[in-house]
Amino acid sequence: MIKGLIFWDWTGTLADESALDHAVCRAMEEAIAHQKQLSRQEATQLFQAYLRQLEGTWPWHDYLLHARHFNLGWRQPQEKNLHLLRLLPGTEEVLRKAKSLGYLNILATNAVRAVIELRLQKAGIKDLLDDIITSDQVKALKSSGRHFLVGLQKWSVPPAQALSVGDNPIQDILSAQQVGLKTVYAVFGENLTHYHSPHISANHRQRVQADFQIHSLLEIIPILASENILKEAVHE
């Protein structure tokens, strides 16, 4: 019997991939410079100008799209820098505990499927996830709430039996509340991850009231273990 769904955020909640993303972008800029015979600074300016056109849309997160736009391969810059990916302390433990308590672990991310699956494989936690919902699947950012709606419909679970756990007040908390989910705000995420996109960075300046707050991943275990978690939320 399914106790409920947990929609886990990825960046800043389960993993810190800021160094990885920085390195991938630098590698793409170097490839652009070589291909177009530009200086590194010129290539960086070209790449950043292209990304600015995608601000506030889900394709901003699509490395495959960026690679196609500049006629580059997407996989090599990713694989070359995967060693920079870091799981946050307690990630495996909390995912295993959630499963043992009867929850389904759903990864809800603004990333695209090909990239997140590559990173999950490297991190070694893909088998702890029951589902992955990506921006290229729902054609929207998490702020739209569509990631949650797709997951609820697929698993035939009502919103009142689902949680969203994440570090972004808008992408992970407010959007989930609007769908009817309970929410767990990962306070630590803002300090762990550098968001290099204005449409994400601005979200952290917003203040919303989550049902629960945690200052480390392990703090979520007693919350999940509570028999009344889906009745105790402040919005009930």
With CA atoms as reference, report the closest residue to 193 among 9, 70, 5: 9
Residue spans per domain, the chain: 4-16+87-232, 19-83
* C-alpha distances out from residue 94 to 6, 86, 88, 147, Å: 11, 16, 11, 21
Q: In what order do the strands lie in the sheet with 131-133?
A: 131-133, 103-108, 4-8, 162-166, 182-186, 212-214
Residue 1 is predicted with a pLDDT of 74
- Residue 172's pLDDT is what? 95
The pTM (predicted TM-score) of the whole model is: 0.91
pLDDT value of residue 106 = 98
28 CB neighbour count, 10 Å cutoff: 23
The reported pLDDT for the residue numbered 191 is: 65
| Cβ count near 41 (within 10 Å) | 10
**Neighbour tally for 177: CB within 10 Å:** 20
pLDDT at 230: 64
DSSP per position, 217-230: GGGHHHHHH-TTHH
Give dist(CA 104, CA 116) in Å, integer. 18
pLDDT tens for 102-153 read 999 999 999 999 999 999 999 999 999 999 999 999 999 999 999 999 999 9
pLDDT in tens, 69-81: 999 999 999 999 9
> What type of residue sits at position 55?
E
The CATH number that domain 4-16+87-232 falls under is 3.40.50.1000
- Listed residue (77, 92, 113, 90) closest to 215, CA to CA: 90
Q: What per-residue confidence (pLDDT) applies to 178?
A: 96
Q: What share of the chain is helix, strand, coil (3-state, %, to 5)?
A: 55, 15, 30
Q: Which residues of the chain have pLDDT under 70?
A: 191-207, 227-236
Per-residue confidence (pLDDT) for residue 227, from 0 to 100: 66
156: alpha, beta or left? (left if phi > 0; alpha if psi -120 to 50): left
Quote the CA–CA distance of 153 and 146 in Å, as a whole number.
10
Backbone angles phi, psi at 50, to 5 degrees: -65, -45
pLDDT for the residue numbered 189: 83
